[in-house]
Amino acid sequence: MEPAVPNCHQPIVQIKDVSFHYRDQQVIKDLNFSIKERDFVGIVGSNGAGKTTLLRMIVGLLPAAEGTIELFGQPIRKFQDWERIGYVPQKNSFNPLFPATVREVVMSGLYNKKKMFRRVNRLDHQKCEDALEVMRIQDIADKRIGALSGGQQQRVFLARALINRPDLLILDEPTIGIDAETQAGFFELITHMHAHHHMTFLMVTHDLDMVKDYLGESPVSQNGKIQFFVRHSHDIENCDEVDLQHSLV
């Protein structure tokens, strides 16, 4: 009998024989990969390799042509607990003229099909304030999102993804369009969150230096032109010793 998998190493995302194509162009073929609780997975690959396509399949925006995806042990077609997943898409998908304040953008992370028409309560406002505090953007909460710098906007989008205190945070090229100093601060922030909080990360990036510095020199897996680098937040034998408090601060 095989030993039980510790709770802090349970699978979060399981990708089995997944393929995807646009018209006649094969983008992903026969991909098998598993993301475990408290992993930090970095995805690297050239333009057109299928990195963003993969993320969009994982968050349910695109269906796989073949194969299956499971989230938290459930087939994606049956998965309903989307508040457990935070998603920050590429910055170029954002309209900078969108007439909303920072606080309104962050609050919008609370809304999904279940909550679209319910009233915002005191707990919701507290979640928003917590997310603003974690991202250190309380002082700009009432500014229009389009008036912010690229680095400030990314902090807002990250706060929006964090407002539900997700178990899995998915980031698609989060540092596009921001300067090197801001990038370094952003990476320091998310690696700190990975090391000290009960959260799993999946990030597409072109920053090979960051990937190799934090996740190691060599990918643990490769599919076509996509490479997967992985680091767990602690050793498997230390599962009972780590802080599993589900807190952002």
- CATH number of the domain that residue 40 is part of: 3.40.50.300
pTM over 0.95: no
Q: Is the residue at 51 inside a domain?
A: yes
Q: Does a structural domain hold residue 213?
A: yes
Q: What is the mean pLDDT of residues 204-232?
A: 91
Q: In what order do the strands lie in the sheet with 25-36?
A: 25-36, 11-22, 66-71, 74-75
When divided into structural domains, the chain yields a total of 1
Residue 244, pLDDT score: 38
Note whether residue 246 is domain-resident.
no
Any domain includes 80: yes
Spatial separation of the C-alpha atoms in residues 104 and 89, rounded to whole Å: 18
Model confidence at 93: pLDDT above 60: no
167/85 Cα distance (integer angstroms)? 6
Per-residue pLDDT at 188 exceeds 90: no
pLDDT digits (tens, 9 = 90+) for 138-170: 999 999 998 888 888 888 988 999 898 899 999
For 178, phi then psi, to 5°, come to -120, 155
Task: Please give the residue that has the higher pLDDT: either 219 or 3.
Answer: 219
What does pLDDT average to over the chain? 85
Alpha carbon of 148 to those of 110, 135, 141, 145: distances in Å? Answer: 22, 14, 11, 6
Residue 243 covered by a domain: no
Name which of 112-116, 218-222, 228-232 the model is least confident about: 112-116
**Confidence grade of residue 7 (pLDDT, cut at 50, 70, 90):** low
Domain assignment of residue 198, given as a range: 7-238
User: What band does 96 get if pLDDT is binned at 50, 70 and 90?
Assistant: low
- Token pair for 194: 């990975």
Residue 243, pLDDT > 80, answer no
33 in a structural domain: yes
Give pLDDT, residue 242: 45
247: in domain: no
Has residue 116 got a pLDDT over 90?
Answer: no
Asked, for residue 249, whether it belongs to a domain, the answer is: no
Q: What percent of the chain has pLDDT over 70?
A: 85
Q: In the prediction, which pLDDT does 6 show?
A: 54
Residue 119 has pLDDT above 90, yes or no: no
Q: Tens of pLDDT along 30-44?
A: 999 999 999 999 999
* Listed ranges 28-32, 116-120, 123-127; the one with the highest mean pLDDT: 28-32
Non-local (6+) Cβ contacts of 19 within 8 A are 26, 28, 29, 30, 31, 64, 65, 66, 67
